[in-house]
Structure formats: C-alpha cells, structure tokens
A and B are shown apart, each in its own frame.
Chain A
Amino acid sequence: MENAMQAREPVIFELSRPGRTAAAQQPPPAPAHDIPERYCRQRPPALPEVSELQAVRHFTRLSQQNFSIDTRFYPLGSCTMKYNPKVCNALAMLPGFLDRHPLAPAVTGQGLLTCLFELQEMLGAVTGMAGVSLTPMAGAQGEFAGVAMIRAYHRGRGDLQRNEIIVPDAAHGTNPATATMCGMKVRELASGPDGDVDLAALDAALSPATAGIMLTNPSTLGVFERNIVEVARRVHAAGGLLYYDGANLNAILGKVRPGDMGFDVIHVNLHKTFSTPHGGGGPGAGAVGVGERLLPYLPVPVVGRDGAGYRWLDERDLPQSIGRLSGFMGNTGILLRAWVYLRILGADGLRRVAEFSTLNANYLLARLIEAGFDPACPGRRASHEFSLTLRREAREFGVTAMDFAKRLLDYGYHAPTTYFPLLVPECLLIEPTETESREELDGFVEALSAIRREAGTDPELVRGAPHTLPVRRLDDVRAARQLDLAWRPASQ
C-alpha cells in the first residue's frame, strides 16, 4: 500500500507499445455502423496501446492513490464530504431502476416516478418550500435556475429595472458567477466583524434595482446569520427576493427551515447534504425549491400526480416555466440515492445529522482553540463548520495555511478548504461532518498540533511538504499561467 502511494504512476500513453492490444478491444470483422465512408477517420486515433492487464493495473493503482472519504478523513469546509451509505448505492442500482429507458411511458415507470415525487415532497418539507424541481444536474445549475426564476418573476410583473443581485463577501464564489450568468449586476456586501450581515450596509445596497440577495445560512464563516429575519424583511420591503444557497444545509436539517426564515428560492446540493457521490465522483444534483410566488417558474420537467397516477409535467402544464436545463429529467440515478437516504433516516434521523455535525464541529473547534489555534470568529459557536486563521503562524514561523494543508497530507488527512472564505487571512475552513468518530477528530487535532510544533522547530519541513506522496508540491502558478491540457510524448 505504501509503495503504491509513493510510486509515480506513469501516464497511460507512456505504457503504450505499437501493436499491443487486448482481446476485448479487437476491431469487429465488418463495419458495425452505417456512417458514410467520407465521414470516417482515415487514420486511427492516437490512443494508448496496452494489454487488458496493464489497463486494469494502471487504473487500480490510480484509484489506490486517490484520497477519498472511503479511505481518509476529508474535512473540506463548505463541501460536506460525508460518508455515503452503501445501501443508497445498492438500492438505486436495482435492475428495475437501472434498465428503465428515460423515454419509456409513465405507465411503466410508476415506481420510479413515485420515488421522485416523494423526494420532491420530502425536500419541500425539509426546506419549507411550496414546490421542488429535481431537474438541475449540479449545484451550479441549481443556482442558475434559482436566479433565472427571480429574473422571470420580476419580468413577469413588468418590473424590468431590477438587475442587481446582492452577494455578501462571505458567499460562495459561484454566487456572483451565477448572478452574472443570469445577466445581473453583482453588488458585494461586507460582513460585520462577528460574521453577520451588516444591516446598515444592506440598507445602502438596497434600491429599486435590487432583484434579490443570495445568502448561505449558516454562512461560509461557519456561523448562523442571526439577523436573517430582519434581512428578509428589509429585502422584501425593497421589492427583492431571497435566494438560499443550500451548501450548508447539513447544519440545520430538521431544526430550522429556509422557507421559515423568509427565503423565496433555494437550491439543495443532494451530493453534499443527502449523501449522493461528491467530489469528482458525481454526477451532482442541485434540486431547486421555491415559495408560492415562484411556483409557476420552476424548471421542467417535474413529477405531478393526478387520478391516473404520476406523470412528468412539462411546458404545457407550466407555461411560465424557465424551461429545461437538460435533455431528460436530471440525474435520476443520483436522485434515487437521495430518496433512499431520506427514507432510511426519516425526520428524526435528519435532526440527528444536524445535531452530530454541529457537535463534531464544535468539539473540533474547542480542541483546536485549546491547542493554540485562532478561530476566525472568536466567541461565535460553530455551525457544522468553522474557520481558523493561521495569520499568527504565518507571521511567527513563516509557515502559511497552504503549508499546513500540504503537510496534513503527509499525516494521512485530506486538507481542509484553504484561503476561503476570502475575507479570512490564512484561512482553513474545516467541516468534519456527522459521520466521523471522536477518535478520528482527536487524531486530526494531534496532526495539526504536531505540524504547528514542526513549524516552530523545522519550518522547512512544513514548507516543503508533502514528502510522502507520489507527487510533491506542484507549481500551480506555472500550471495556471501556461495552461496545457493535452499530453504528448516528451520527444514531440
């Protein structure tokens, strides 16, 4: 195992030898297609030529080098990298689900449609929303759908001058990107020193041009926005709508609902909170929920129920819909996994998720403060995640948050989120999730404390990390400045 971790695995093209092949890859004896000759390539593509065993070993070794939640603690703040119970996967892979064609008639798919309808209902109940569409295929698409609905709502009322979206400085980087994609201007809002929205700054930002505000609550600083009801009142009074980014929903499941806080629209990352694959293992799912005002604008298709059972509602049923986000019905296989997860946990289980994710975060925060680390929001209780600032370590030892993050890899931990949120200098954003044991959390505290001691006695050791992985510190500056995404042999 250690050898597998330490050896650099060559690019598969480097293993290639002319003419080497595998039985499974033999060309068919006669053309297996009816594409006219003139459209066919004249030369074979430059694919690697390896044996089947070489291909199997190559990809198995790569998978062994992967840091994943199934192998390591993965405290990636604001990303909720929690364990996905295997049963969710197993049940979503039942042949009845797997073999169903997306265009098969609804009458033969009542089982699947029942699951998806129930998922819509459960997500609506958890978030306090009147309607849900499961069709967005990722968090970013869910955000896009949410802001597109806000835009459609204002346009539908002839309120055409509303073209500004307010985004707090602690927001997810995707929020301003989404607003821009929807043709909105972004107004950034400063947070107060304790992490809450500054109400005076909010008043200054609100105007007849305000289309809405995008908020994450708990925020990316890992604290609950205490002014939320007042924020909602003021934004609504100014004619704007409130968008809830579901990134941090894990902390509040069954405790408080975005709909009750005053939000009009929400996207839910099923791959964060509802335990579907996450982090390159996707695909994602970014279901959207809306309050009464935005119901007519939900993206289609959504599952509806009438006398004959369940069926897909489309543009004919929802003529004001913002439309379709993909060719079919969203990532159905992923949605099924979320349905299984919700059915297994039930309302009580979801409350326990919130309680234990919050308990784990506060335990970890308290122990790290005890170990001498500085919290970004002193005195504030953590939600399901918290930020540390390593400003003092950077000044005293010349060892940065990135150095700590890289050294953690040597200790067998995935690094937390670094340098985010942007307003915290030398930031580590840590989210343990409810699925970790106390022993695992203690081990992580020990590792960070050990790195802190190393920073004092042997800073070069930390600055040069990682030392035990197949690749060392990569030149990410050069990689970004001289972007080169196509591998070719060194000789060419």
Chain B
Amino acid sequence: MSEIPAELRYTKSHEWVRALPDGSLMVGITDHAQGALGDLVFVEVPEAGRQLSAGDACAVVESVKAASDIYAPLGGEVLAGNDSLATQPELVNQDPYGQGWILRLRPDADPDSALLMDAAAYGEFVAAGH
C-alpha cells in the first residue's frame, strides 16, 4: 500500500498539493504515481514566473516505462520549480512528498474551491483501480 499523507490534497491525475503558511502551494506526484511510473530518469520543471491555468500540463516526468505530464491542480503563477530534479530525478521516487516536490505555485483562487480530494477519498480512488 502506498503512502497517502493525511494533511495533503490530491488530484485525479495523482498530484498532491500542500498548502504552505505563506498561502502558496507545493505540488508533487503521489507515492502511488511514482510507484506506477517506476524509476524516473528525467524530470522537467516549469520556470518561475510562468502563468498556469488549472489543468495545464506544467511539468514532465519520464521513467524507463513512460513519459507523463504533470497538470496544474489550480491556476496561478509558478514561484519555483525544483531544480534539484534536473540532476537527481530519483528524489521523486525516494521522497515523493518531500525532497521530490516538483513546483511551488501562487494560486489565483482559493485552493478550497478546487475539486481536490482529501486523503481518504484519494485512498478510495486508488483502491478503485485508478
């Protein structure tokens, strides 16, 4: 069973979202997603300043099996991409909710307004075979 931290929110495309004290959001991919992708060999993160709409493809994770887009869970401005991933894509596998974060975002809208799942709902979503 993959790890699903209780304090995070989740998307149907397997991103996690963490609300930071300054009102910005941190985004990464879930433990389940990294497990399904397998060992990552390349991660492309967005540059700071880029404007995103909700649902925009904003990063790419590539494993030996597949390349997948990461979608912006909310619209907003990219504050930073995790540059460490350029040389250490394995951080996403080793620590998906910590050092393997992908981007930080200043959201346009209240995060609660987005249709994100809580940990229990995401756990059911994964168990249902998604």
Contact = CB atoms under 8 A, between A and B. Distances in A.
Given A476-B64, A480-B64, A481-B89, A188 B39 contact: no
A184 to B, nearest CB: 13
Interface in A369-398: none
Interface residues of B, number: 14
A156 interface: no
Nearest to B41: A480
A425 B42 contact: no
B57 A477 contact: no
Interface stretch (B20-28, B66-74, B75-83, B107-115): B66-74
A221 interface: no
Contact of B64 (A188, A422, A425, A477): A477
Nearest to B68: A422
B41 A173 contact: no
B121 interface: no
B65 A419 contact: yes
Q: Specify the main secondary structure of chain B where it touches its partner.
A: mixed
A336 interface: no
A173 B65 CA distance: 12
Contacts, number: 22
22 contacts: A173-B67, A186-B57, A188-B69, A402-B65, A418-B65, A419-B65, A419-B66, A420-B66, A422-B66, A422-B68, A425-B36, A425-B129, A476-B64, A477-B39, A477-B41, A477-B64, A480-B41, A480-B42, A480-B64, A481-B41, A481-B89, A481-B90
Interface in B49-75: 57, 64-69
A206 to B, nearest CB: 15
Interface string A407-436: 000000000001110100100000000000
Nearest to A423: B130
Given A186-B57, A422-B68, A477-B64, 7 more contacts: A402-B65, A418-B65, A419-B65, A419-B66, A422-B66, A480-B41, A480-B64
Nearest to B64: A476
Contacts of A188: 69
| Most A CB within 10 A of own CB, among B57, B64, B67, B89 | B64
Q: How large is the interface on A (under 10, 10 to 19, 20 to 34, 35 or more residues)?
A: 10 to 19
A163 to B, nearest CB: 14
Contacts of B67: 173
Contacts of A422: 66, 68
Nearest to A480: B41
Nearest to B69: A188
- 3 A-B pairs with the lowest CB-CB distances in the bound complex, closest first: A480-B41, A477-B39, A419-B65
B73 to A, nearest CB: 15
Nearest to B71: A188
A144 B52 CA distance: 27
Interface in B109-130: 129
| Most B CB within 10 A of own CB, among A402, A420, A422, A477 | A477
Contacts of B64: 476-477, 480
Interface in B8-48: 36, 39, 41-42
Contacts of A418: 65
A173 B129 CA distance: 23
Contacts of B90: 481
A481 B73 CA distance: 28
Contacts of B42: 480
Contacts of B69: 188
A417 to B, nearest CB: 11
| Most A CB within 10 A of own CB, among B41, B66, B129 | B41
Nearest to A422: B66
A476 B67 CA distance: 15
Interface string A463-492: 000000000000011001100000000000
